[in-house]
Amino acid sequence: MEKKRCSFCFGKKGYNVSEKFLLYHDTRWCKPEHNDRELYAMLVLEGMQAGVSWNLILNKEDNFRKAFDGFDPEIVAAYDELKVEELMQNKGIIRNRNKIRAAITNAQAFLKVQEEFGSFDCYIWGFTGGKVIDHHLMDDKDMPAKNELSEQVSKDLKKRGFKFVGPTIVYSYLQGIGVINDHWEYCDYRKEEL
């Protein structure tokens, strides 16, 4: 018997989701992530997603990982203008100068958070005391674009110098790293472990 997925996995009229999107939904989305490098990777990918589809970002994810040195924040934090120009020529990624620069700025801010809290994981999960917020959604209309938690995290990230971290992007980020579980109640992937 085929497993049930959240309804958005079937795309909207005239728009089909990719196999990578389905795999992301099934194995990563709303699953708790505690690896700092992956937490940084998701921050970059969510920032890159602003104004484009998540489907597109996932289809380019391998290119992003290669272009940004495996999303190692220590390496990305040291990128200079020559590296920015190199990335602007890379057709495999989103070539937006502000987003590329934000990835660098965010790597620098990320390292400062690690220094202060011991890990970014301790910092980001500290907003919920290490607990997953499960909204028990029933339908698309039930999912907010942002909430009080994403507003709070966004405000704190901005205060720490992060860019492209508005409350809507942060809400999506918190879903992506599993702080928020927004799988529909009927979705067979809502509680499965990786």
> Any idea which residues carry the catalytic annotation?
24, 46, 54
Q: Which two tokens stand for residue 139?
A: 């339908």
Question: Within 10 Å of residue 10's Cβ, how many Cβ atoms?
Answer: 11
Neighbouring residues of 135: CB distance < 8 A, sequence distance ≥ 6: 142, 143, 180, 181, 182
- Cα first-last separation, the chain: 20
Whether the Cβ atoms of residue 93 and residue 63 lie closer than 8 Å to each other: yes
